[in-house]
Amino acid sequence: MPANIYDDNLFRRDFPFFESENGGYVYFNSAATALKPRCVIDAVCAYYSSYSANVDRGVDSLGYKATEMYNAAREKTAAFIGASDSGTVIFTRGATSALNMVASSFGNMVVESGDEIVTSMAEHHSNFLPWQQLAAARGARLVFAPTDSLGRVTPQALGSVMTERTRIVALNHISNVYGAKNDIRALAAAAHEYGAYFVCDGAQGITHESAMVEENNVDFYAFSGHKIMGPTGIGVLYGKRELLEKMPPAEFGGEMVYTVDYENAAGTQFKDLPERHEAGTMPIAQVIGMGAAIDYLMSFGYDVIRRRVDFLRDYMISRLEAECPNIEIYNKGQRDSGIVTFNVRGVHSHDAASVFDNDGIIIRAGHHCSQTSHALLCVPTSLRASLYIYNTKSEIDRFIETAKKAEGFLDVLFS
């Protein structure tokens, strides 16, 4: 695929959304969920229409085909995140489910009364609430690492709150509000200096750079398929093998057990990785669709994504700063993602969002599932435009004209 990142048609032709009846919308909400390329939609449809059988059950040819495709997607996922052992890739419902699995299973195993769990105020609720609830249940203390003006935690800031009682450090790869990147390799190293485990919420980070889980030496890494242009309802938990093997299953059911002792629970033997953590019928179509999304993303690679998104983000911010004086941008210093978080001065984010929606521009309004991030920003809510590879300069031009209207919302309201 050519890498002319200034060509607005470079990726757009791959996305059926733009040919649909809603294709006239400007979709600036990819941080919530990315649009799906045709190859992903085709892969999901092919499973349902051609070989819609369950996996790892029976010896029939359709079941074999489904199992083959399912296992191939696991191998792709492992390579995609830099894991040499595909058994360390656990499929889940999403990043939220994956993080909850670590907290409820591994966390309950290693956290005791008086211990500490370190997180930050710049986390998504999915990487805050499980740790808050675990700390409350175990009598542990939840500790907040200091953040800089872009919501990042430096290794030095993390070190300032670490103690010998710290058991888990849970931080994001890229913030869904600030859009700025943490140095997860350095943070993992800082956590390990104190004997703590490093858990990374990669839901936003994986869309912009590789997780490189082994190279970065993270203990657990979670992300969702729908953020990388795959289907909804599928996520991944990576964990180091020795940790996943120690974790008790969080769910129980079919295909995750070798032997059931109906008289003695201790006699029941669970399967090896990854099946021991994947009870029941898994989201097979979604796994296969995510495999297609990984193939699509890797056909051009992260360098092209970064350059394309950087070009679009810089163009949006430069025009906002030059032409919209009543718009306050909270994260214009970040260079790591397509997230632009802002407010129209004097206008509630929901009111401003309605102006954009009336002009067919889809952005996010509210606290973006991170009330703690907005506490740092000292505002209750904000607007978020999140750009990805299929967006265009002309869409940003439309956005700027609507932003000017939003600036005049109060004048129109009270005129």
Where do the DSSP E strands lie in 157-201?
166-172, 197-201
Catalytic residue among 200, 324, 369, 378: 369
User: CA nearest 26: which of 41, 6, 8, 44?
Assistant: 8
Q: Give the span between the Cα atoms of 196 and 24, in whole angstroms.
A: 49
Q: Which residues pair with 382 in a beta bridge?
A: 366
39 classed as catalytic: no
Q: Which residues pair with 236 in a beta bridge?
A: 91, 223
Burial of residue 411, with CB atoms counted within 10 A of its CB: 0-12 exposed, 13-18 middle, 19 or more buried: exposed
What Å distances lie between residue 289 and 17, 231, 234, CA to CA?
A: 17, 6, 9
Which tokens hold the place of 150? 């872009």
Chain mean position to CA 205: 7
Q: Residues 387, 316: contact at Cβ < 8 Å?
A: yes
Residues tagged active-site: 369
